[in-house]
Amino acid sequence: MATWGSWDDDQQRAMHDAWFTPGRLSVVVYGGQDAGVLDNERRGNMLYVARIELLPQFQNLGIGTRLVGQLVDDARRSGAAAVELDVLEANEGARRLYERLGFEVVATSPPKQRMRLAVR
């Protein structure tokens, strides 16, 4: 994989174990089918989107746009100042989506970019 180098099962398992916190995850359901996962949390005065992952067959259907829109609305209602997320530099499709929705790159730390949308 271009982002992480050659595949290493032990390394991938360790990365998964480090982020996997079932109590924070929400399953995204579309058309009665499990379509992906969402992970977000309040960090001070902002909403941080840690993960939006959709299975390939559910990508490019507008689901991601709706999810991000709902998160932005939730952030506004809760009084948050911004929504932030990290996107892999190699994930051009996701970065284009976030830019289209008004997010801007505020920091780069390869292989990721931090993006922010002010909501008030």
Q: Give the residue extent of every domain in the chain.
A: 25-118
Query: Quick one: pLDDT at residue 3?
Result: 64
Query: Quick one: pLDDT at residue 52?
Result: 95
Instruction: Indicate the pTM of the whole model.
Output: 0.86
The fold of the 25-118 domain, in CATH, is Aminopeptidase (3.40.630)
Work out the number of other CB atoms within 10 angstroms of the CB of residue 86: 15
CA angle 10/13/18 to nearest 5° reads 125
DSSP, collapsed to helix, strand or coil, labels residue 39 as strand
List of the chain residues with pLDDT < 70: 1-5
Query: Quick one: pLDDT at residue 21?
Result: 79
Query: Quick one: pLDDT at residue 23?
Result: 83
Query: Quick one: pLDDT at residue 4?
Result: 57
Query: Quick one: pLDDT at residue 8?
Result: 82
Cis peptide before 110 (omega within 30 of 0): no
